Structure formats: C-alpha cells, structure tokens
Amino acid sequence: MLKNKTALVTGSTSGIGLGIAKALARQGANIILNGFGDADSPKAEIAALGVKVDYHGADMSKPSDIEDMMKFAADRFGRVDILVNNAGIQHVARIEDFPVERWDAVLAINLTSAFHTTRLALPAMRAANWGRIINVASVHGLVASAEKSAYVAAKHGIVGLTKVTALENATTGVTCNAICPGWVLTPLVQKQVDAKAAALGLSNEEATKLLLGEKEPSMQFTTPDELGELAVFFCSPAGNNVRGVAWNMDGGWAAQ
C-alpha cells in the first residue's frame, strides 16, 4: 500500500518508534530511522522487510540537527511522505522540585521538535497533495498524572499542534492525527516494572499487575505492533478524512 512512499520516524531505534517503522515498512514504505543507541540492529530489521532504510542521528532538541535530518531524508528518498513524531523523554518530580533544565529538555524533545519536523515536511507534502503526519502523544495528552508536569504539558501541546496542523491542511491531501497510548511494554517501561518488583519484593508478574492496575482497566499493555497498525490505518485510503483526532489506545484509561 505504501510502496514508493518514504516514512521518517523519530525516536525509532527501539520501542514504539521501531514498532511503527516496521509496520510502515511491511506496507512497502522506505524508512528513515532516528534515535540514540544502536542503529545497526533496527536498520537490519527494517531491511529484512524488503524496503530501503537509512538512519540519521539528529538530536531532537536541536533545530539545526532536525533541519539537517529533514534535508538528508529529502536527498536520500526525494521527500518525506509520512512523518511520525515519536521522540520523547520523561522526568518525574513535583513542580516545585522540577529541575528547570529538565523541563526545557522535555518540552524541546517532546513538543518543539514536532513543530520543526512538521514545518519542514509540509511544503513537499502540500506540493504532492499527499502526506501523513502522525504525532505520538500519550494518554497524558488527554489526562494528567501527578509529578509529570513537563511530560503532560508537552503531550497536551502535541494534541493541540495536531489539531492546528490538521485544520490548516484540511482542504488538501495532507492529514495530521495523534496516537495516545497508555502503558506500552517498551524497554523503558520494563525497567519501571523491574524497579517496582525489586523495591517491593514482588515477582515480575505481580509488579506488572500493580503497574497496570493503577491506571489501565484492561490490565494489559498496548504493544508497539498495535500502535504500528493504527499508524498504517491513518496512512490508508480509509484514513483520508480522519483529521485532527487524538486516538487513545489505552485499555480504557481515559474512559474512567
């Protein structure tokens, strides 16, 4: 379905980003990966799906790096047809204790980077009259949790940016939507499970139930593959008139 399209997925060397990149690759899209850490393994996973793949290590807190990455993608594959803004970091503290530099970093990577990639991707998308911008927000773009002020502010901001982008392009073939996951079993979340198990003397299974039970009525994790399939839907003909939505895949979290 996406043969000859190019997808750039930020924060895609592992976790949700890699799951979305693989789902798009299975539909034939060429992939530009981005993120920290090992890039060779995810590149090999994408290449094994029979598409072209490349990697750019832009620091998503730096506008100049983002501009270089977008130019790299255009030079490599012509243009970015599908932009997935997934890069994100987290810091947990009460507002009065929240380090100012951590607030700035969370807002820069989780929100401002999506503004920069979007503004740079839109001209070519509009010229082609086809494009998909998918912002990976969070259930925290819809509801809040204590001690996550920067993350919640950024994710609410991403939902707002999604709506504005959708409205500004509503009469074109360019759509913009947000995905709002609840708990997703990524390496980062597994570390939280492991830490809870160690701190409370619980088994991994008990710690998992405790973590999910706090927020997620389904008592099961959403998977990166499931989120990838939602991204594929947004890119399909069925998604042509889906514009400006914040689609939560959260096991009922926001329904409470």
Q: Is 171 buried (19+), middle (13-18) or exposed (0-12) by CB count in 10 A?
A: exposed
Q: Are 221 and 250 in contact (CB under 8 A)?
A: no
Percent of the chain with pLDDT over 70: 100
For residue 40, pLDDT over 90 is answered with yes
Catalytic residue among 151, 221, 234, 253: 151
Query: Mean pLDDT throughout 41-51?
Result: 98
Query: Mean pLDDT throughout 226-250?
Result: 98
For residue 162, pLDDT over 90 is answered with yes
Query: Mean pLDDT throughout 243-249?
Result: 98
Q: Among 31, 13, 236, 230, which residue's Cα sits nearest to residue 137?
A: 230
Known active-site residue 55 = no
pLDDT one-digit tens code per residue, 133-160: 999 999 999 999 999 999 999 999 999 9
For residue 229, pLDDT over 80 is answered with yes
User: What is the four-CA torsion angle of 76, 78, 84, 86, rounded to 10 degrees?
Assistant: 30
Q: Residue 186: its pLDDT value, please?
A: 85
Query: Mean pLDDT throughout 35-42?
Result: 95
For residue 34, pLDDT over 80 is answered with yes
Q: Among 127, 137, 133, 116, which residue's Cα sits nearest to residue 167?
A: 133
For residue 25, pLDDT over 90 is answered with yes
69 backbone dihedrals φ, ψ, rounded to 5°: -65, -45
pLDDT one-digit tens code per residue, 181-221: 999 988 778 888 999 999 999 999 999 999 999 999 999 99
Mean pLDDT of the chain: 97
Query: Mean pLDDT throughout 29-52?
Result: 97
Q: Residue 189: its pLDDT value, please?
A: 87
pTM for the model: 0.96
